[in-house]
Amino acid sequence: MGKEEQGIDQQRYTVIPRTLILLFDGEDVLLLKGAKNKKRWAGKYNGLGGHIERGEDVLTSAKRELQEESGLTDIQLYLCGTIICDVEAFLGVSIFVYKGSIQKVALQPSEEGQLEWINTANLETLNIVEDMQAIIPHVHHWKVGDTLFSATNAYDEEERLVTTFYS
């Protein structure tokens, strides 16, 4: 199909592609506490990941982001689901969620922030990016061989982010 046949129209819903990587060691998840100088989620806990660059496939992006934010390489990552986050009438974010397992190792901070192992039972006590409260347990219970999950994030009347999972 040629470029002119792709149906690109500024009035159609468009998504920005991103990756999210959650690494687990038993009941603990590796999270990044955003550096205080970050534009987004400064001081808040989030998974690893980021934008998919032009010409980059999703898995390569996830591995690049993982290496940039943690220094970790050669980690087996499994695509476990996707999330569409509605932001504006014609703009959203498409998140490709990856899961991996790793034994705890000492990790160095990056420009993005400080990496910390957090027990999944303690998520409610953290200053955490709001959708992570729902996403982390869902990914934690997902097993290799399970069907990929599909989810949406949408803002309610009070501008709170609500995550809904679909089977």
Quick: pLDDT tens for 72-92: 999 999 999 999 998 887 889
- pTM across the whole model: 0.92
Instruction: Please answer whether residues 97 and 52 qualify as being in contact, where contact means their C-beta atoms are separated by less than 8 angstroms.
Output: no
Token representation of residue 2: 């040629």
Euclidean distance between CA atoms 159 and 28, whole angstroms: 30
pLDDT score, position 3 = 67
Euclidean distance between CA atoms 147 and 110, whole angstroms: 33
Instruction: Please answer whether residues 107 and 118 qualify as being in contact, where contact means their C-beta atoms are separated by less than 8 angstroms.
Output: no
Token representation of residue 22: 């959650």
pLDDT score, position 57 = 97
| Section 13-41 average pLDDT | 92
